């Protein structure tokens, strides 16, 4: 498995040691080269910006990457490739779940010491090769963002992780992969109870402290300050956030709360913002998001796990994803909040979104390219294009059709799930 270090990231000594030790223990098994594979399939959903679909296609995989994609008539299969004939199957990019808690140990979900806990990191909870992860990849889910719970307003760093791999170093793609912010709607229960006036003040103040720390170091590194700032283990991890190397993944829902997230994190602090949940009447914030996107801000909406909102006043059911989409929010994806909805049910979440009025093709996009972009992984995964990592599912049909099953999953060029060997569905 390829381990990407976040660009220019400084890491804490302890975690490096931990990962290093684990890598040493289990690194031997990964020594062999990924195999050379030739998939002959009925359809490839490339999921690129041109919305390319290739029928009767061949996908060549070598060295862990996609070597070539094209029509079967155009792509010759070279010598030495294992030919996998699945002429009625679809290849779909591996699904990316931006809101997952099951890639780590659930007993370490929330460490509610303070109302904001910027020093904590889910990297210390990653559990490779759990049953949940096996289920995830059996469902075509290949990459997840493991984040801490929403018990406090800032609950720690998220970890982007593959759903297959023997060790922590095998599965971790990027750490930190995000900072988890819970804008409101859970942290209220902290202590004797807090309101949004205090929570938002406190969240903003924590982020501003981190920003000030980052700027002091930037100034020093640019040679504009002579005095070296003091190292702060709590805020040092935030530097990547302000360099836009990872995102703020935000537990946010309900109009005022989503509005605050857009205003505080995206508009004013100019952080790469991923709105998770985005339920209830949150979709009405779409005009503000459109304005912010037009002003160059980065906001992805990764909706879920609630597929619909029952509006008692109007006596209407609103499909959450559908409403976001109709309101003109183009960067829309889907999450499971596993274990709230099981991690392998990610495509089913998108199907539910479509059941309540979303657009099926957009639903698949919201499982692949959009979340990959949201997590800044789009140079590596999210589409079936030459040069990208070989990370996809081979499906019996449209993945949003509940009757379809993932028959084979490839991560890092290796077959990590094969229904012929051990069938899940």
Partner 1 sequence: MRRTGAWRAAMAVIALAAVSVEASPPTKIALTGGRIVPVVGPEIEKGTILIEHGKITAVGASVELPFDAMEVDVSGKVLFPGLVNAHDWQGLDIPNENLDIGAALDVYDAIDPSRLFFENSLRDGVTTVHIIQANNCVIGGISRVVRPIGLDVDEMTVKPRAAVKISASPKGGYDRMAQWAILREAFAELADYRERLAEQRYEEEQKKLKKDVDVGPAEARKRGAELIRPQDYDDAHANLHELSQGRLDAWVYVGAATDVGPAVKFAKENGFFERVVFVLGPDTFKAVDELKVAGRPVVLDVNLDFRERDPLTGKLSETFVPKVIADAGLTFAMLPHPDASLAERYLTYQAARCIREGVARETALAAITINPAKMLGLGDALGSLEIGKAGNVVVYGGDPLDFNTWVEQVYIDGILAYDRAKDVRIRRLLEEPGAEEKPKEPAGDSAASDPAHQGDKPEAGSGASDPAKPENKEESKPDSPAPPPPSPEPGDDDASVERASDRADRAESRRRKDNAKSKGGPDA
Give the footprint of partner 1 on this chain (CB under 8 A).
45, 50-53, 184-186, 188, 191-201, 204-205, 253-256, 259-260, 263, 280-281, 283-288, 290, 311-316, 323, 325-328, 330, 359-362
CB of 331 to partner 1, least distance (A): 13
Do the beta carbons of residue 257 and residue 283 sit within 8 Å?
no
CB of 220 to partner 1, least distance (A): 18
* CA gap 324, 318 in Å, rounded: 10
Do the beta carbons of residue 250 and residue 153 sit within 8 Å?
no
Can you read off the two tokens belonging to residue 258?
């989503």
CB of 383 to partner 1, least distance (A): 13
Sign of CA dihedral 352, 354, 357, 358: positive
CB of 340 to partner 1, least distance (A): 13
* CA gap 413, 43 in Å, rounded: 19
CB of 52 to partner 1, least distance (A): 8
C-alpha closest to that of 41 among 410, 380, 366, 344: 410
Instruction: Work out the angle at residue 289's Cα, subtended by the Cα atoms of residues 377 and 269, and round it to the nearest 5 degrees.
Output: 70
Please identify, using beta-carbon distances, which residue of 189 and 219 lies nearer to partner 1: 189
Please identify, using beta-carbon distances, which residue of 38 and 54 lies nearer to partner 1: 54
Please identify, using beta-carbon distances, which residue of 184 and 341 lies nearer to partner 1: 184
Q: At a CB cut-off of 8 Å and minimum separation 6, what does 334 contact?
A: 302, 303, 304, 321, 346, 349, 350, 353, 363, 366, 367, 371
Please identify, using beta-carbon distances, which residue of 114 and 361 lies nearer to partner 1: 361
Q: Please spell the DSSP secondary structure of 59-75, one letter per residue.
A: EEEETTEEEEEEETTT-
CB of 25 to partner 1, least distance (A): 42
* CA gap 121, 57 in Å, rounded: 42
Q: Please spell the DSSP secondary structure of 289-358, one letter per residue.
A: HHHHHHTT--EEEEE-S--EEEETTTTEEEEHHHHHHHTT--SEEE--TBTTS-GGGHHHHHHHHHHTT-
CB of 6 to partner 1, least distance (A): 31
Q: Please spell the DSSP secondary structure of 219-264, one letter per residue.
A: HHHTTS-SSPPPP-TTTGGGHHHHTTSSEEEEEE-SHHHHHHHIII
Please identify, using beta-carbon distances, which residue of 37 and 109 lies nearer to partner 1: 109
Helix (H, G, I), strand (E, B) or coil at 82: strand
Please identify, using beta-carbon distances, which residue of 51 and 85 lies nearer to partner 1: 51
Please identify, using beta-carbon distances, which residue of 28 and 50 lies nearer to partner 1: 50
CB of 12 to partner 1, least distance (A): 28
Please identify, using beta-carbon distances, which residue of 182 and 405 lies nearer to partner 1: 182
Q: Strands across the sheet with 273-277, in order? A: 95-100, 141-146, 154-162, 172-182, 247-252, 273-277, 299-303, 332-334
Do the beta carbons of residue 66 and residue 58 sit within 8 Å?
no
Please identify, using beta-carbon distances, which residue of 237 and 282 lies nearer to partner 1: 282
Cis peptide before 176 (omega within 30 of 0): yes
Please identify, using beta-carbon distances, which residue of 8 and 312 lies nearer to partner 1: 312
CB of 41 to partner 1, least distance (A): 15
CB of 307 to partner 1, least distance (A): 17
């Amino acid at each position: 498995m390829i381990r990407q270090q976040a660009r220019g990231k400084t890491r804490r000594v302890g975690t490096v040691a931990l990962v290093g030790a684990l890598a040493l223990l289990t690194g031997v098994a990964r020594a062999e080269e990924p195999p050379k594979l030739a998939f002959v399939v009925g359809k490839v959903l490339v999921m690129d910006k041109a919305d390319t679909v290739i029928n009767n296609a061949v996908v060549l995989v070598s060295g862990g990457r996609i070597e070539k994609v094209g029509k079967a008539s155009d792509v010759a299969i070279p010598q030495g490739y294992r030919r996998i004939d699945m002429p009625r199957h679809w290849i779909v990019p591996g699904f990316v779940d931006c809101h997952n808690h099951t890639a780590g140990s659930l007993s370490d979900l929330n460490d509610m010491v303070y109302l904001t806990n910027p020093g904590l990191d889910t990297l210390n909870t990653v559990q490779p090769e759990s049953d949940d992860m096996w289920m995830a990849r059996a469902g075509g889910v290949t990459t997840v963002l493991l984040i801490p719970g929403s018990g406090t307003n800032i609950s720690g760093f998220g970890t982007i992780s593959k759903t297959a791999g023997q060790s922590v170093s095998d599965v971790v793609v990027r750490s930190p992969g995000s900072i988890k912010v819970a804008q409101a709607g859970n942290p209220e229960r902290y202590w004797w109870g807090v309101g949004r006036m205090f929570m938002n003040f406190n969240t903003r103040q924590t982020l501003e402290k981190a920003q000030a720390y980052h700027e002091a170091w930037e100034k020093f590194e640019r040679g504009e300050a002579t005095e070296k700032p003091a190292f702060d283990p709590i805020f040092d991890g935030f530097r990547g956030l302000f360099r836009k190397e990872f995102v703020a993944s935000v537990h946010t829902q309900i109009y005022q709360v989503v509005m605050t997230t857009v205003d505080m994190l995206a508009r004013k602090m100019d952080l790469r913002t991923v709105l998770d949940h985005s339920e209830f009447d949150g979709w009405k914030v779409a005009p503000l998001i459109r304005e912010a996107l037009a002003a160059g801000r980065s906001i992805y909406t990764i909706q879920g796990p609630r597929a619909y909102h029952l509006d008692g006043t109007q006596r209407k059911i609103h499909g959450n994803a559908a409403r976001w989409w109709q309101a003109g929010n183009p960067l829309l994806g889907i999450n499971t909040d596993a274990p709230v909805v099981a991690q392998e049910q990610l495509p089913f979440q998108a199907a539910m979104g479509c059941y309540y009025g979303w657009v099926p093709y957009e639903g698949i996009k919201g499982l692949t390219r959009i979340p990959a972009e949201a997590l800044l992984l789009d140079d590596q995964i999210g589409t079936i294009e030459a040069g990208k990592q070989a990370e996809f599912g081979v499906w019996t049909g449209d993945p949003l059709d509940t009757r379809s099953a993932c028959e084979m999953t490839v991560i890092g060029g290796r077959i990590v799930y094969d229904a012929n060997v051990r069938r899940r569905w």
